[in-house]
Amino acid sequence: MENCQMFFPCSSTGKSVYPVMTTTDYIANSSDHVFSHGDQSSSSGGFLGLKQNSGPNTDIVKNDSINGAFHGSESEEKSSKMKGEKKIKKPRFAFQTRSQVDILDDGYRWRKYGQKAVKDNKFPRSYYRCTHEGCNVKKQVQRLTNDEGIVVTTYEGMHNHRIEKPTDNFEHILNQLQIYTPF
DNA sequence: CGACTTTGACCCGCGC
DNA sequence: GCGCGGGTCAAAGTCG
């Protein structure tokens, strides 16, 4: 796979990359925050619908599962060698995009470190880690079975560095994401 | 040659 | 305890 670098902003390539809201519950089961968009407004540029003045269709869903209500597969610092240490749970943020490609170029550099088949999903889930030194951010990318046009991206952790390859509006989006994080 | 992907193995938590 | 599923590791392969 090449370094596809054109998915953001949405309009440049004719690919429809914009958020949709479909199976929010699906995400809610596995993540803490869900960012999605209420409607497929055909316009471009508003990636998650996270425009500054969020209109009525702009839903930034913030799950209440934060702070202790993590279920099942919540993220934890299980660096496999931290025996006695406390598990640190990082908040995760999931959002859906309608895209023909799986890898959204958000401006950071990611290294794929795993791929797993997921139960009840014909598409595999891919695991990526930020390659920036000292940055532990991970993300998972998965395509929905019932709508293969939708890619669910789950971010885990926050970057401790600047975006490396700024795209038009993703940095702004990230800034907004930080607003909704507890730290 | 460095950066990255692929992929099977391994580990761990959870439900039964 | 066992099996399953999710997440990670790491060696090998690929690519520019």
Q: Is the CB of A131 under 7 A from strand C?
A: no
pLDDT tens for each residue of chain A, 183 residues long:
433 333 333 333 334 444 443 333 344 444 445 555 444 433 333 333 333 333 333 333 333 333 333 333 333 444 333 333 445 566 777 777 776 666 666 678 889 999 998 888 888 899 998 888 778 788 888 888 777 778 888 888 877 777 766 555 555 555 555 545 544
Multiple choice CATH, A94-179, 3.40.50.170, 1.10.3720.10, 2.20.25.80, 1.20.1250.20: 2.20.25.80
Q: Are A115 and A131 in contact (CB under 8 A)?
A: no
- Report how far residue A105's alpha carbon sits from residue A126's, in angstroms, rounded to the nearest whole number: 15
From residue A122, give the alpha-carbon distance in Å to each of A26, A30, A117, A118, A148: 15, 18, 7, 7, 10
Nucleotide in closest CA–C1' contact with A3: B4
Nucleotide in closest CA–C1' contact with A112: B5
Judging by DSSP bridges, how do beta strands A110-117 and A92-98 pair with one another?
unpaired
User: pLDDT value at position A134?
Assistant: 76
User: pLDDT value at position A167?
Assistant: 56
Strand B nucleotides where any atom sits below 7 Å of a protein CB: 3-9, 11-15
pTM above 0.75, yes or no: no
Q: Is the CB of A81 under 7 A from strand C?
A: no
User: pLDDT value at position A156?
Assistant: 83
User: pLDDT value at position A127?
Assistant: 92
- Report how far residue A174's alpha carbon sits from residue A74's, in angstroms, rounded to the nearest whole number: 21
User: pLDDT value at position A104?
Assistant: 63
What is the helix (H) or strand (E) element at residue A128, kind and residue range?
strand A124-130
User: pLDDT value at position A70?
Assistant: 33
User: pLDDT value at position A55?
Assistant: 32
Q: How far is the CA of A56 from the C1' of B11 (A)?
A: 45
